Structure 1
Amino acid sequence: MEQQPSALIVIDMINTYDHPDADQLLPSAQKAVPVVAGLIRQARDAGVPVIYVNDNFGQWRSHQGALVDAALAGPHAELVEPIQPDDEALFVLKARHSIFYETPLTYLLWELGVHQVVLCGQVTEQCVLYSALDAHIRHLDVTVVSDGVAHIHAELADAALEMMRRNMGAQIVAGAEVTFSEEDGRVGPSQ
């Protein structure tokens, strides 16, 4: 695999939205999806790896195709269509909150030469927060796209973003501020 210093990580966006807190999550997810779609396009154009890390929703026989098909067949397919994985995307299934917990993601990032992860997805105050912490303790540079993450509770999401910035040294930026460099794969503020 080609070495890339950065990767875009799309967390739990392949979703049927049929869970108990979905009604609280949907308004924020609807705002985040266009930002996530733009990040995915930009990363693909720059040759930066796009890695989907997605909950398996307790479906232990599931795989990428089954999850995408279920989400596209669900009542909120419009939230999945613009961000669905292409043939170049990498896909990791997870069972719990962190993208690293009991997954091969650490090894995959090492194999790709990734030192910086750009996190987007859902849920800010849960999976994104725990994933940012786990990335930080693995000595990865962490960027969280504030308008590219969806939340259930706005006040907890704001607190989580502040914790990621203050306690984990994460860059908290808006999607419009993200530029993936085609020369070296690094992400930084747009010019």
Structure 2
Amino acid sequence: MRALLLLCIFSMATRKVLYAQKDTVAWFTQPGVTLLNGDKYTSAAITAVTGVHYKQWYLGVGAGIDYYKVRSIPLLAELRFESKLKAAPFVYARAGYNVAWALEHQHTKPYVFWGTNSVFNNGKYAAAGLGCYVYRKDDTGVALTLGYSAKGVTELYDETIWNGTRTVTESRKLDYVFRRLDIGVSYRF
């Protein structure tokens, strides 16, 4: 996370110098907030992507905090293509690794005195969508996006069952893939 912060600061420091040279590779940073709406939940996510762009192509890496159902940290790579129109509509795709970071109340707990709390394993993250800039000056601007994303996590826990004569411990594994609609706003500098 410290490396990502340093990369953002370096990006801001070199931005003005590189923008003057239109056909060179330049740095960008784009933090954003997203509303996530799935089949059972509505939640939010915060992301920050930083990277390089050349002409209309943007390639970056980023991280965020995703609060949908099970809190997690998506570590992602993003590829974006922007048109040359004034509103600069664009398409984007993200892919990466989803690190589970569940809150205490999100764990499955045993119903009786014995058993274990659940443990979450990491999964995959993917997103794609469309967007456009509602305000744009030079190479900075405010963007609105509409997309679709999916994140995966696996929950593991032991469940103790009384079958009438003895207790049996069963290991449970639940694979979750959360699919959601994304509506976001971000600022690129």
User: What band does the TM-score fall into relative to the shorter chain?
Assistant: under 0.3
Q: Counting strand residues as a fraction of each chain, which structure ranks higher?
A: 2
